[in-house]
Chain A
Amino acid sequence: MANRTIIPFGPQHPVLPEPIHLDLVVEDERVIEAIPSIGFIHRGLEKLVEKKDFIDFTYVAERICGICSFIHGQTYCQGIEEIMQLQVPDRAKALRTIWGEMSRLHSHLLWLGLMADAFGFESLFMHCWRLRETLLDEIEATTGGRVIFGSCKVGGTRRDVTDAKLAEIVRILDGMEQEIRDITGVFMSDSTVKHRMRGVGIITKEEAQALGAVGPTLRASGVAQDMRTLGYAFFNKINFKTITRTEGDCQARCEVRIDELFASIDIIRQVVAQMPGGAVDVEVKGNPNGEFFSRVEQPRGEVVYYIKANGTKNLQRFRARTPTFANLAPLVKMLQGCDLADVPVMALTIDPCISCTER
């Protein structure tokens, strides 16, 4: 029997700027077990609900994550609106859907770039981020921020976007679609890329469900679960299909995200085509009283917010279960028995966001 050694992975690792630490128990080049530990960047954001009033907490919720910031704000606002029984105008819902899908696009392009970087394909990484840059410019032009949109508020949105600007966004996305197809084609067909990802880190359908995987990690194993099908915001008026793969390996998780890029572009097109007019916010009166579980599909998977209010301006309890937290158990499972060289690629395929996880 070979000697067992423990190799530390992270919290500072070239492939992952996020501070997660894995103790990899290896025999020769084979990982026998991975023991994760988190807790390097806990910021105590959930506790802040006792200090900030429920309207101002939107700013905090948005800053839980640096990539899916908008959807965090949206999840929080939807929860409060549900407790207060606010009727959010359709235009605000449509704008939230557009911004939500734009953040999904930029998150997936960012991830594809990081993935290319993880297996050493530098030029592909640059091209993914070049495309993302165009999108970030459009996000900045409509919301005022590149990653922290700051455009969602309880009762609607803080800004409106003119119909001319929406048409321009659709035009830009139309132009981008072919470029994205060219670039993502490399992930789909290049033999060197496939060599690194096909058949690596397989999670079966049963394992994914039992371990509570969410988002692309779950859908790549053949489970069609997408919170957007709940029909929040504008999704009840949109025709879209949940994207799944059955292989459950790294390549499948990559392909799910690539197909979601095109699905998101199509969703934005559909929303702009049936854009309702009118106001973008309603007046918020009084304080919330009650509790609600708010569930929204983020780029990384389902996020769950538990909000409990007691009729004062401060919430009583707030809890966020982020997608990466749910995906850590599948990651530990897929690392068992893999090659040491494949660990960075596998760790990336769950799209880990540790800042989210630790809040």
Chain B
Amino acid sequence: MSLFPMTGTILKSLFRKPATRAYPFVKRPHIAKTRGSIEIKIDACIYCGMCARKCPTTAITVDRATRTWSIDRLRCITCNGCVDVCPVNKKAPGSCLAMRESYTTPTGTRETEHHQGPEKAPAAAPKA
């Protein structure tokens, strides 16, 4: 039993750089695999609604008629489930839904984020 078992650690800490960062001047770099927030490339979306059906917290709503994809960021738990089931992603990963490393900015109000897709391209004229 000793009285000063912390002495070594204290001496080391005296000559070491601080363990904390001088936030907000020094920001923590994002780690590549971090599940930060969901991002959509709306042009590629086919409005199949798979992401909305699979979402465990029903944060996503997809409207095929108005071609909108909406997300309630405060409901989203960034589980990556929607990115996994997206059929567009199955052909080319990350082409429709993707997981961003950065988080969304803090907010005080609950707002749904809407993404409006482009008008549907007119169907090719039937061959005569």
Q: In whole angstroms, how far apart are the Cα atoms of A60 and B77 in the complex?
A: 11
What 6 pairs between A and B have smallest CB-CB spacing? A144-B35, A144-B33, A59-B56, A186-B5, A130-B19, A141-B31
Total residues of chain A contacting the partner, CB 8 A: 29
Q: Name the one of B9, B31, B33 contacting A127, with C-beta atoms under 8 angstroms.
A: B9
B33-79 CB contacts (< 8 Å) to partner A: 33-35, 54, 56, 77-79
* A123 x B34 contact (CB < 8 A): no
For this complex, into which size category does the number of interface residues on chain B fall? 20 to 34
Q: In whole angstroms, how far apart are the Cα atoms of A189 and B81 in the complex?
A: 48
Q: How many Å from the CB of B61 to the closest CB on chain A?
A: 17
* A59 x B33 contact (CB < 8 A): no
B30 to A, closest residue via Cβ: A140
B9 to A, closest residue via Cβ: A182
Q: In whole angstroms, how far apart are the Cα atoms of A142 and B19 in the complex?
A: 22
Q: In whole angstroms, how far apart are the Cα atoms of A324 and B5 in the complex?
A: 32
Q: In whole angstroms, how far apart are the Cα atoms of A143 and B5 in the complex?
A: 36
* B56 x A60 contact (CB < 8 A): yes
In the bound complex, residues from chain B placing their C-beta under 8 Å from that of A283 are none
For this complex, 14 residue pairs linking A to B, each with C-beta atoms less than 8 Å apart, are A56-B54, A56-B81, A59-B77, A124-B6, A127-B9, A140-B31, A140-B34, A144-B34, A145-B78, A148-B77, A150-B35, A189-B1, A191-B1, A191-B3
Q: Name the one of A63, A140, A158, A190 contacting B80, with C-beta atoms under 8 angstroms.
A: A158
In the bound complex, residues from chain B placing their C-beta under 8 Å from that of A329 are none
Q: In whole angstroms, how far apart are the Cα atoms of A61 and B13 in the complex?
A: 40
* B32 x A191 contact (CB < 8 A): no
Q: Is the interface of B mostly helix, strand, loop or mixed?
A: loop
Q: Is the interface of A mostly helix, strand, loop or mixed?
A: helix
In the bound complex, residues from chain B placing their C-beta under 8 Å from that of A144 are 33-35, 80, 99
B105 is an interface residue with CB less than 8 A from chain A: no
* B56 x A52 contact (CB < 8 A): yes
Q: Name the one of B9, B35, B81 contacting A183, with C-beta atoms under 8 angstroms.
A: B9
In the bound complex, residues from chain B placing their C-beta under 8 Å from that of A56 are 54, 56, 81
B22-34: CB near A (< 8 Å → 1, else 0) gives 0000000001111
Q: In whole angstroms, how far apart are the Cα atoms of A185 and B79 in the complex?
A: 39
User: Contacts A56-B54, A182-B9, A183-B9 hold; do A191 and B31 have CB atoms under 8 A apart?
Assistant: no
Q: Name the one of A123, A140, A148, A185 contacting B5, with C-beta atoms under 8 angstroms.
A: A185
B33 to A, closest residue via Cβ: A144
A166-197: CB near B (< 8 Å → 1, else 0) gives 00000000000000001101100111001000
B122 is an interface residue with CB less than 8 A from chain A: no
Q: In whole angstroms, how far apart are the Cα atoms of A261 and B69 in the complex?
A: 46
B109 is an interface residue with CB less than 8 A from chain A: no
User: Contacts A56-B56, A141-B33 hold; do A182 and B8 have CB atoms under 8 A apart?
Assistant: yes
Q: How many Å from the CB of A70 to the closest CB on chain B?
A: 14
Q: How many Å from the CB of B79 to the closest CB on chain A?
A: 5
